Amino acid sequence: MTGIGFIGRSTVVDPWGVILAGAPDEEALLTTTIDLDQVRRVRNWWPLNEQIRPELYGKVAVKSVTTS
C-alpha cells in the first residue's frame, strides 16, 4: 500500500474524443481495442507532440517523448 488514493473512472478515448471504454469508481481491469492506424494518421495530421514543453511541467514532466 502506497498511501496514494485514486478516484478511478479511467477512460480510453480515441483521437477525436470518442469514449472507447470506461471504468467504474472501484478497482477494475479495463480493456479495449485501439485503432493504431487511426492514431498514427491523426498524429501526422495534427502533430501536437512537437509542441510539448516538458520543462514547464515540473516534477510531473516526462523525461522523453517518443513519437511514431
Q: Is residue 66 a part of any domain in this protein?
A: no
CA–CA separation, 61 and 68 (whole Å): 20
For residue 62, the model assigns a pLDDT of 53
Q: Are 45 and 35 within 8 A, CB to CB? A: no
Q: Is residue 56 a part of any domain in this protein?
A: yes
* Domain count within the chain: 1
Which amino acid type is present at position 48? L
- 55 lies in which domain range? 11-60
Cβ-Cβ contacts under 8 Å for 62 (sequence gap 6 or more): 52, 54
Is the pTM higher than 0.85? The answer reads: no
Please give the chain's pLDDT, 68 residues, in tens.
677 777 788 999 999 999 999 999 888 899 999 999 999 999 899 888 788 887 787 766 555 555 55
For residue 18, the model assigns a pLDDT of 95
Q: Is residue 31 a part of any domain in this protein?
A: yes
For residue 56, the model assigns a pLDDT of 80
Q: Is residue 1 a part of any domain in this protein?
A: no
